[in-house]
Structure 1
Amino acid sequence: MTTAEPDPVFRTGSGRLCLDFIRTLRWRGTPQALEELATPKALAAWVHQLGPYDPAQPIATPTPRTLTTAQQTREAVHALLAAARTTTPADCPPAARLLLNKVASGPTPHPVLDETGTLTHAAADPITATLAAIAGDALDLATSPLLPRIRDCANPNCGAWFLDTSRPGTRRWCSMDRCGNQAKKNTWRARHPEHS
C-alpha cells in the first residue's frame, strides 16, 4: 500500500497575494533557484492553501497548460513589480504587461455568505480565478502608493519581497519566524563563539 505525499507548505505573510505567489520561485536568479510550482498538483496545493476558498472545497488538479500559465503569470508579476520598484510600471516588459492584463480580465473568486454567516469564496475554476486575482493584485500594487513599502528581506539567503505595513516602515524580514529568528541566532553565535 502506498501513502499519498502530503501537500507542500508554501510561504505566506508577505502582505499581498501577488507577493506570496512570486515566492514560489525561491532563490530567484541564483544557482540554487527552486521551483515550488513544479507540477500541476503543486499549483492546486498552493491555491488550496493560499487562495480565498473554503478549505473544505476541493481544488481540481489543473492541466499542464494551466501550470505553464501560472508560472508565466508569476514571472510577469515579478517583472512588473521589479520595473515599478526601479523606475516606473511603464517600464514593465510589454509581453509581461499584456499577459497580466489578459489574466486579470478573467473572472475572480466571488464572495458567498453561507447560512451560518461565514463568508467564503467560490469560482467555477478556482485556479484560473485565483490567477486572475493575483494578476489584478499585482497591477494594483504596481500603481499604488504602497509600492515604496515593498521591501527585500534582509536575509541575504532569502530574496523574498514583502509589503512593510509596520507603522514606522522599518520591517526587515519577510518572516520573523524564519529569517528574523535565523538572523538573531546568527548574531548571537557571532557574539558568543564559545557557545557554537
Structure 2
Amino acid sequence: MTPGTRLLVNAQGERYRFDPGSLSLELLLTGGPGPYERYEIAHTPADLAEWFTGSRLALTAPLTDVQIRPAELAALKELRGALYRVAPALAHGEAQSSDDVVLLNDATAATPRPILAPETRRLAWAPPVTGKQLLGAVARDAIGLIAGERSGRVRECSASDCYLLFFDTSRSGNRRWCSMERCGNRAKIRAYRARTETV
C-alpha cells in the first residue's frame, strides 16, 4: 500500500483505504482522547515508531531507523490531542485556540533531515529519525494546513455518520468523502435507490 494511505476497518468489519492527504491528519488515525481511545495503537514508543515507517514521510524516502523515547511519545500524543481540536476547527472554518497555536509553534524545532545515501545517491532520512524530529514534521504540516498554501482545504467527510478528516488534494477542490470505497459508495447506492424508487 502507498505510504500515507491507511487500511481502516468499519464497525461491520469491512476494510477500506483512506488517504488523509496530510501527515498531521494521518496521525489522528493512531487513536486519541475520549471516544478515540478505543482506536489507540501507540501504546509504546516502538508501536508509534513502526507506524511512522508507513506514514506520508515514507513517500519522500524510506524510514528505516526511527527511534522514539517515552517522553517523545508523550509529546506526540499531546500534539495529537491538539490536532483533534485544530483539525475540526479548520474543517468548519473556525479559529484555533491560542494554546494550540503555541503548542504547534513550540513543536517545530527539529524535523527529519533529508540526505543523499552515500551508497545509492538516493534520497534518505539521516538516521536516526527521532521522536522530536517527527513531532516537528507533524507540527510543521499542521501549520501549513492552517496558514500555508494549503489552507482552506481541510474537510470532514460528508457522510452524516463519519467524522474522518482529510486534506483535499483533488484538482477541483471538491472531494466530499473520506473514501469512495466506503462513504462515497454508500452515498451512490442511496442516490440510486432514491432514483429507482421514484420511477
Q: TM-score, normalised by structure 1?
A: 0.72
Contact kept in structure 2, 1:80 and 1:93, CA below 8 Å = no
**2: CA distance, partners of 1:56 / 1:9:** 19
- 1:19 is displaced (CA, Å) by 1.4
Matched, 1:174 2:178: yes
TM-score (norm: length of structure 2)? 0.71
Between the two proteins, what is the percent identity of the paired residues? 34
Change (3 A) 1:58 1:151: same
Distance (Å, rounded) in 2 between the aligned partners of 1:87 and 1:38: 29
Deviation, structure 1 residue 135: 0.5
Alignment of 1:45-56 (within 5 A): 45-50=50-55, 52-53=57-58, 55=62
Distance 2:128 2:136 in 1: 13
Q: Which residue of 2 aligns with 1:4?
A: none
Query: For 2:166, what is the secondary structure of its paired residue?
Result: strand
Q: Deviations over 1:41-81 (max 9, x none)?
A: 33122211115255471434x34433221111012223234
1:148-187 aligned within 5 A: 148-185=152-189
Alignment of 1:105-116 (within 5 A): 105=109, 107-114=110-117, 115-116=119-120
Does residue 49 of structure 2 align to residue 44 of structure 1? yes
Q: Structure 1 residues 186 and 63, CA, compared in 2 at 3 Å: closer, same or farther? A: farther
Residue 71 (str. 1) matches residue 108 (str. 2) = no
Count of matched residue pairs: 179
1:5 is matched with which residue? Answer: none
Q: What is the CA RMSD across the aligned residues, in angstroms?
A: 3.2
SS of corresponding position for 1:148: coil
Structure 1 regions of 5+ residues with no counterpart? 1-7
